Amino acid sequence: MNRIKEIATKTFKELPLDGSKPEEAIDQFVMAYTRAILFEATDVIREKAKEHEGEISTALKATAIDVLDHFGL
C-alpha cells in the first residue's frame, strides 16, 4: 500500500495545477495517477519476464502490452 501512496503523492506534486476548476484538476490527477499505476504494474510484469525464457517470457511481455492496449496506453 505504501507504493500506491508514493505514486499518488508524486503524481499530485508533478501536476501543473494552474488554478483550474476543481473538477478539471481532479480529472487531470485521476488520469495521470491511473497512467502511473498502469505503467508501473506493466513494468513489473516485463521485469518478471526477464526471469523466464521462451513461451513464459513471451506470454508475460504480451500480457503487459495487452494491459496497456486495453486502457489505450
**Total structural domains in the chain?**
1
CA distances in angstroms from 25 to 15, 16, 18, 21, listed in the order given: 9, 9, 9, 6
Helix/strand/coil (H, E, C) string of 22-40? Answer: HHHHHHHHHHHHHHHHHHH
The average pLDDT across 15-25 equals: 81
Q: Which class for 50: exposed (0-12), middle (13-18), buried (19 or more C-beta within 10 A)?
A: exposed
Report if residue 69 sits inside a domain.
Answer: yes
- Say what the pLDDT of residue 68 is: 96
- CB neighbours of residue 52 within 10 Å: 13
Return the H-helix or E-strand segment holding 45.
helix 22-49
Mean pLDDT of the chain: 93
- Say what the pLDDT of residue 1 is: 80
Q: Could you list the residue range(s) of the whole structural domain that residue 49 is in?
A: 21-73
Report if residue 14 sits inside a domain.
Answer: no
- Say what the pLDDT of residue 21 is: 85
Report if residue 61 sits inside a domain.
Answer: yes
Asked if the model's pLDDT at residue 67 lies above 90, the reply is yes
Report if residue 29 sits inside a domain.
Answer: yes
Report if residue 31 sits inside a domain.
Answer: yes
